[in-house]
Chains A and B, each alone.
Chain A
């Protein structure tokens, strides 16, 4: 079984400041890792994913996440946030085998302060 921990339920950040949203996972098998974003009153959208290869993955809107196997972490970062980044962010994992199931963290609400 897998579990995902997002320790920060809410993160307020000033506009144009950097941000890091933390994600740690636990699994007895190899996993794929994901960040999903939920904008207000919308469903979830895939932001970025780590499947294999380079441990640093990037999204089209400036977010990046780094897979750290030794620390079992997949933290999400952005060097300069914008008002439009206000959303809830969910970290998720799925096992390599039986990968149809996603296990989600409890989410981090990112609030951008003008």
Chain B
């Protein structure tokens, strides 16, 4: 069975802290994604990774960075958390291919920055 896991379901941090959100997939997928989900805005892509050590900015990369040292793990980093980064963060993975391949989502991490 397909599995994407995220390190925390709920996280509370203070303004200025460095925050790591971890995502692990067990499907040997090449592509991995980080989205944030906000009411009325839907899902917006922050960063994605085609493969190990490869990354590309999404639509809203400001204030975030990512790391992909191993194929199964994709980390989202908030260098200095701010209150406007309070949100639900969703990770997804996908097999590489020329035709369509489904994205599989993790359960999400609800981050609150105080």
| Chains A and B come from one and the same complex | yes
- List residues of A whose CB falls within 8 A of some B CB: 4, 6, 9, 32, 36, 41-46, 49, 51, 90, 94, 99-102, 104-107
B43 and A90 form a contact (CB under 8 A): yes
| Closest A residue by C-beta to B44 | A104
Given known A-B contacts A43-B105, A43-B107, A100-B31, A105 and B42 have beta carbons under 8 A apart: yes
Pairs across A and B, CB under 8 Å, 9 listed:
A6-B42, A32-B100, A36-B105, A43-B4, A43-B90, A43-B108, A49-B100, A90-B42, A104-B44
CB distance B90 to A106 under 8 Å?
Answer: no
Which residues of B sit under 8 angstroms from A45, Cβ to Cβ?
Answer: 105
**Contact among A44, A51, A101 for B105, CB-based, below 8 A:** A44
Number of B residues contacting the other chain (C-beta, 8 Å)?
23
Known A42-B107, A51-B100, A94-B100; judge A100-B94 contact (CB<8 A).
Answer: yes
Known pairs A90-B43, A104-B43, A104-B44; list 18 more (Cβ under 8 Å).
A4-B42, A6-B42, A32-B100, A42-B107, A43-B4, A43-B107, A43-B108, A44-B105, A45-B105, A99-B99, A99-B100, A100-B31, A100-B48, A100-B94, A100-B96, A106-B40, A106-B41, A107-B42
Residues on the B chain within 8 Å of A104, using CB: 42-44
B27 at the interface (CB under 8 A from A): no
User: For residues 21 through 56 of chain B, which have their beta carbon under 8 Å from a beta carbon of chain A?
Assistant: 31, 40-45, 48, 50
Inter-subunit contact A44/B42 (CB<8 Å)? no
A51 cross-chain contacts in B, Cβ below 8 A: 100
A28 CB, nearest partner CB in chain B, Å = 17
B106 CB–A CB distance under 8 Å: yes
**Residues 59-114 of B contacting A (Cβ, < 8 Å):** 90, 92, 94, 96, 99-100, 102-103, 105-108
Chain A's closest residue to B95 (CB) is A100
